[in-house]
Structure 1
Amino acid sequence: MVKIKFNPYNREIEVLQGENLLEAVRKAGIFMDTPCNGSGTCGKCKVKVINGDIISTGSKNITEEEKKNGYILACQSTVNSDAVVEIPETDSSSMHGMKIEDFSGSREKNIFQRSRDQILKSGMKFNNNIKKEYLELDPPTLNDNISDFERLRRHIKKQLNYDDVFCGLTILKKMPQLLREADFKITITHIPDEKGKTVIINMEKGDRTDQLYGVAVDIGTTSVAACLVDLHNGELIAKASSGNAQMKYGADVINRIMYSTRGNGLEKLNHAIIQETINPLLNRIYADSKIESDEVVSFVAAGNTTMSHLFLGVYANFIRQEPYIPAFVKIPLIKASELDIKVNPETPVYLVPSVASYVGGDISAGVLSSGMWHSDKNILFIDLGTNGEIVFGNSEYLMACACSAGPAFEGGEISCGMRASSGAVEKVKIDSSYNPTFSVIGQEKPLGICGSGIIDLICEMMFAGIIDRKGKIIKDLNTDRVRFDEHGIGQYVLAFKEQYDLDRDVVITEVDVDNFIRAKAAIYSGITTLLNNLSMDFTAIDKIYIAGGIGNSLDIANSVKIGMLPDIDQNKIQYIGNSSLMGCYLTLMSEDAKHKLEEIANSITYVELSVESEYMNEFVSACFLPHTDIDKFPTVKKCLDSSV
């Protein structure tokens, strides 16, 4: 056995000699962002060896200067002696402090109100089916000595007219003492049906009918957001967000599915999403709102199809294998206690139904909140995240596809890319002298670049003449911000390490630009293929709704200029926030909305792009700035001509 100490965490563990260093980091309980899940391709698991015998195979992601300073890739290294290893600051910032839509700003409140209005305008009601009732039971006597549960049933039948009353073991266990401590004056929380039956899911002392809470959760591949809701009036009481702890097992769903098939990988991924992500978020919410977990009696969550499987701990490997079959799209009733979610144990867990293998419940929820299902306009809905999902349609039809965009929109596969968290550059401008100005999330020193910042940066580099339309950096520019390595690969320095006291320069390389061009091309070609399936083109689009975390600082004009979005009237393009979380909120508040959500999931026609012959041709054509056919982007062509 050898000992490894990890700084700045001051955490020490013992592992077997020859242990993979990345696995040692995970065993130490330290979060490390590993988009490629240890294959050595992303270069994100860089660590610095302070002392000790650690053997590394080397990597193209480690520069000669970094190598001299003791940097290695943890995934490509083994530990042969006691050692001290330093983990860079960017890894500790990736998990927490993420910039997630939370309905707190004026724009977000408008988005929130708009989604509520869509439900009401369609004739649906906010009609939650969970009820609270205050009961005063007759105390038992020698002459009236029936069991506590029968006594409760008798009063419920007499006062509330339910013939059949049921409860779970959790309620039975708390019943004897609670009844007597409350002097038989209690509040029950129950879920009735239309057939005279009700199920008790909580019991409290005294009159607590004024307090009824639910939780909505968006389980993203990269980030998770949760909000606590007053089910009486729909008020958002508290919210919290963080990175998805599963990121340490890979940035995308394919890497995570593959990890889930190894040993106890499925259990680790399930533990990461519930115990390391959702429950800590709930604890933060409870602390902020000063309520107890037992008071939360409704739970609605949405995620893509893979996230839904991993959330339940269900084997997901067949999702990635042709013919791409999920184990489920809709789940039966599950109690919170079965998943060990920190709410009332009897709380029913509603997981929003998926559509297909790569269009999940997050898209069903997003379509619900967008209102496109009730519109006579042709609406294009795009969710920009780790995966790119697209829905087109109106009240008459809905058609969807999923693009293999990869993790680039979330900073994955980008050398200095990072999540939209503290220290991430989110907006960029470049002047005529090739010098940048930028804004950083949290107004801190720049640690890396998030998705919206990368879009701005690539667009600005193209119009400043730093890169050509293939994404290649122009040589012989009169600036020290452009340089080329020993392999001839160019890079642009956004922030010099000396200026900001960083461990390394914040740069974007030609390889990064190429990776991002492929990601944006996947979105554009997905849109084109979807419309072609309907014998339509961009002129048929009346409105484009952009959803997802990247939209917080997304520059629509720049997104068009690089060829990610079609070149249409930009007044038609609207950001609608975290539509998945909003859809979960609507489902939490309204049984009508829940029924509509299930109709939506059942009615969406799914197009599998991997079997669409034209998709690859469209993709290859879109791997250019903005496109190989510049005439498809007339306004961009005009801007490029005027900038020459």
Structure 2
Amino acid sequence: MVNIRFLPSRHSIQVEAGTTILEAARRAGALIEAPCNGAGTCGKCRVKLAERFRPFVRSGGEHHLTAEDEADGWVLACESVVTGHIEVEIPQGISSHSLQIISHGLARPVVVKPFFTKAYDHKAGETRIIAGGDVVAIEPGDRSARLFGVVVDIGTTTLVASLVDIGSGEERATASALNPQSLHGQDVLSRIKFASEPAGREQMHTELIREINRLIGQVAATAAIDCGDIAEVIFSGNTCMLHLATDTDPSSLGKHPYRPVITGGNHVRAHALGLAVAPYGLVYLPPILSAYVGADITAGILAAGLSEQQGVTLFVDIGTNGEMVLAVDGAMAAASTAAGPAFEGMNITCGMRAGRGAIERFYVEADGAVTIKTIEEAAPAGICGSGLLDIAGELVACGVIDKRGRFVRPDRSTLPEALRERVIACEGKPAFRIAGDIVLTQKDVRQIQLAKGAIRAGVELLLRSRGVEADQVDRVFIAGSFGYHLQARSLIQIGLLPEVFDGKIEFLGNTSKTGGQALLLNGDLRRQLEALVPSVEVIELADYGDFDQVFVGCLGF
């Protein structure tokens, strides 16, 4: 047995020799970010060893660090096996508080007609709490005005909690954070694999509920209310996130025929999930469409009023999953694609989350000069998703990257000198120097192509399923926190969306949250959405015989 101590958290554990640093950290409760769930593909689980401990770690695998990093003592936790007693330094990454997370979004007008109400009985001097017409609790005194609900947007990467006064419909406070599950797996498939074992599911559920409780406590403190007055919580998230939030085995989502255990449109008891709200509190799960089109999308359908839109409307949520809904005079079809973690800055050489110092905007001037904008105007630290798409779009537009996704040779191009000198070799392969040591590599470009190709293929096949040509689309709604940071120009430049969508794109923001708020405030909308969902046809893109051909055709810029 060997002892491992993790700094600066001071977690320690005794494990068998031959255990990886990542495995030991998870057992000890020390958090090491591993978006690929230890597959050795992302290179993000870097930890540092003092020189005296390096002989007791054996590294291997296909993902290699630079010679300089290795000389400084950096290793990848997922590929480093421990053979003796060591101390491991975990670098302090981006905190939840520094992440740029959008909490606002398009909201529809809602008549306040909630599931929960309170009624004060003057004679008895007590307040009755009523849920769905039934009295579920009694409180002494007049507490009829103390009735609140929380909407939690459970994203794959981020969490947003919104505290709402159920009586007035007013949003009283919001708070956001990183989804702690993302430290173990950036995409949904990684989470499903991790949580298919009971211990993994328990860890995923416990960490998520702990963070949701922290956010609930934060918004309650901001609004100066008691958590005991929170009667109802709405969980709005994709299908996998709802499974993990309710401690439900998600393994069926990862194997054919991909059927969810949870279908939504029901309540579960909040205390049974460990939520710190009123003892009588309930959690409402909005209805879902399929294993990969979840409650966040049905909430978005509600917020955007897709069933009421005339003409042709395309709704797209861009993220680690690409979910999309096509509405033709209110009749809807939906699909999803696995875009992967590139748009979250993962699997990208200098990628990072949308935190302080992340490059979020990138422009190339006519003379080839480069302008960048970072979050909080801080010194450049890496590239987040919106910056990544800006960079790719601008480099394609000015000819640094060709339509096949390859960097041009500077000596054979007519690029301005300011751009030619930025095309460099990185570990023997072409790359573009953005700022300081921050580069975009050829591998990164391929990751962008795969991600954008998946979404574009989904759009093409969804349109085809309804016999709709791209130029017949009247409006394009881009939803989600990540989507809100994007620019229409970049989406079109890289070919994620067709050129004919130019001038038709509208960014809606966090419709998962605003749709959840509508469900919190009006019980009739729940019944309407529950009745609507079965009429939405889910298109399984993999069933198209030429899906691979369409996908390959969508890889080019």
How many residues are aligned here?
A: 546
The aligned runs of 1:123-162 (5 Å cut-off) are: 125-136=111-122
- Could you tell which deviates more after superposition, 422-431 or 475-484? 475-484
- Whether 1:362 and 2:296 are equivalent positions in the alignment is yes
- Confirm or deny: 8 A CA contact 2:98 2:356 kept in the other structure: yes
Tell me the residue number matched to 1:81. 84
- Whether 1:68 and 2:71 are equivalent positions in the alignment is yes
**Distance in structure 2 (CA, Å) of the matches to 1:572 and 1:581:** 24
- Could you tell which deviates more after superposition, 74-83 or 20-29? 20-29
Change (3 A) 1:284 1:27: farther
- Could you tell which deviates more after superposition, 359-368 or 344-353? 344-353
- Confirm or deny: 8 A CA contact 1:11 1:28 kept in the other structure: no
Tell me the residue number matched to 2:126. 186
Deviation at 1:331, TM superposition (A): 5.7
What secondary structure does 1:601 align onto?
Answer: helix
- Whether 1:24 and 2:24 are equivalent positions in the alignment is yes
- Confirm or deny: 8 A CA contact 1:403 1:522 kept in the other structure: yes
- Confirm or deny: 8 A CA contact 2:316 2:322 kept in the other structure: yes
The aligned runs of 1:109-258 (5 Å cut-off) are: 111-112=106-107, 115-116=108-109, 125-136=111-122, 185-193=125-133, 198-201=134-137, 203-258=138-193
Q: Deviations over 1:283-325 (max 9, x none)?
A: 2112212212111001111111111111111112121212211
Q: Deviations over 1:399-443 (max 9, x none)?
A: 000012111111122122222223321111134665532122233
User: What is the letter of the counterpart of residue 59 of structure 2?
Assistant: S
Match of 2:200 among 262, 265, 269: 265
Deviation at 1:231, TM superposition (A): 0.8
Tell me the residue number matched to 1:558. 490
Deviation at 1:569, TM superposition (A): 4.7
- Whether 1:608 and 2:540 are equivalent positions in the alignment is yes
User: What is the letter of the counterpart of residue 54 of structure 1?
Assistant: V
Tell me the residue number matched to 2:435. 495
Tell me the residue number matched to 1:46. 46
What secondary structure does 1:568 align onto?
Answer: helix
User: What is the letter of the counterpart of residue 424 of structure 2?
Assistant: R
User: TM-score, normalising length from structure 1?
Assistant: 0.81
**Distance in structure 2 (CA, Å) of the matches to 1:88 and 1:70:** 12
Q: Show structure 2 runs of 5+ residues with no match.
A: 412-416
- Whether 1:57 and 2:87 are equivalent positions in the alignment is no
Q: Deviations over 1:173-202 (max 9, x none)?
A: xxxxxxxxxxxx332322253xxxx2324x
- Confirm or deny: 8 A CA contact 1:49 1:70 kept in the other structure: yes
User: What is the letter of the counterpart of residue 16 of structure 1?
Assistant: V
User: What is the letter of the counterpart of residue 130 of structure 2?
Assistant: H
Q: Deviations over 1:81-102 (max 9, x none)?
A: 332333334xx20644322222
Change (3 A) 1:60 1:474: farther
- Could you tell which deviates more after superposition, 361-370 or 16-25? 16-25
Q: Deviations over 1:195-252 (max 9, x none)?
A: xxx2324x44422222210001111111111100011111110101111111122111
Change (3 A) 1:47 1:436: farther
Change (3 A) 1:319 1:212: same
User: What is the letter of the counterpart of residue 327 of structure 1?
Assistant: V
Tell me the residue number matched to 1:620. 552
User: TM-score, normalising length from structure 2?
Assistant: 0.93
The aligned runs of 1:513-592 (5 Å cut-off) are: 513-592=445-524
Change (3 A) 1:600 1:424: farther
Asked which structure has the greater CA Rg, the reply is 1
User: What is the letter of the counterpart of residue 469 of structure 1?
Assistant: K
**Distance in structure 2 (CA, Å) of the matches to 1:608 and 1:12:** 45
**Distance in structure 2 (CA, Å) of the matches to 1:594 and 1:302:** 13
**Distance in structure 1 (CA, Å) of the matches to 2:543 and 2:76:** 37
- Confirm or deny: 8 A CA contact 2:478 2:484 kept in the other structure: no
**Distance in structure 2 (CA, Å) of the matches to 1:365 and 1:431:** 40
User: What is the letter of the counterpart of residue 546 of structure 1?
Assistant: I
Identity %: 35
- Confirm or deny: 8 A CA contact 1:17 1:81 kept in the other structure: no
- Could you tell which deviates more after superposition, 15-24 or 224-233? 15-24
**Distance in structure 2 (CA, Å) of the matches to 1:29 and 1:290:** 32
**Distance in structure 1 (CA, Å) of the matches to 2:294 and 2:270:** 21
**Distance in structure 2 (CA, Å) of the matches to 1:314 and 1:210:** 35
Change (3 A) 1:414 1:614: same
Match of 1:334 among 251, 268, 273: 268
Deviation at 1:26, TM superposition (A): 2.8
Q: Show structure 1 runs of 5+ residues with no match.
A: 120-124, 139-184, 497-504, 626-644
Q: Deviations over 1:241-300 (max 9, x none)?
A: 11111112211111111111235111111112212x211111211221221211100111
- Confirm or deny: 8 A CA contact 1:364 1:601 kept in the other structure: yes
**Distance in structure 1 (CA, Å) of the matches to 2:409 and 2:392:** 17
Deviation at 1:511, TM superposition (A): 0.6
Tell me the residue number matched to 1:599. 531
**Distance in structure 2 (CA, Å) of the matches to 1:541 and 1:389:** 17
Deviation at 1:495, TM superposition (A): 2.2
**Distance in structure 2 (CA, Å) of the matches to 1:231 and 1:93:** 34
What secondary structure does 2:228 align onto?
Answer: helix
Deviation at 1:357, TM superposition (A): 1.3
Change (3 A) 1:432 1:2: farther
What secondary structure does 1:571 align onto?
Answer: coil
What secondary structure does 2:205 align onto?
Answer: helix
What secondary structure does 1:284 align onto?
Answer: helix
- Whether 1:475 and 2:415 are equivalent positions in the alignment is no
- Confirm or deny: 8 A CA contact 2:40 2:63 kept in the other structure: no
Change (3 A) 1:334 1:524: same
- Whether 1:93 and 2:29 are equivalent positions in the alignment is no
**Distance in structure 2 (CA, Å) of the matches to 1:543 and 1:102:** 23
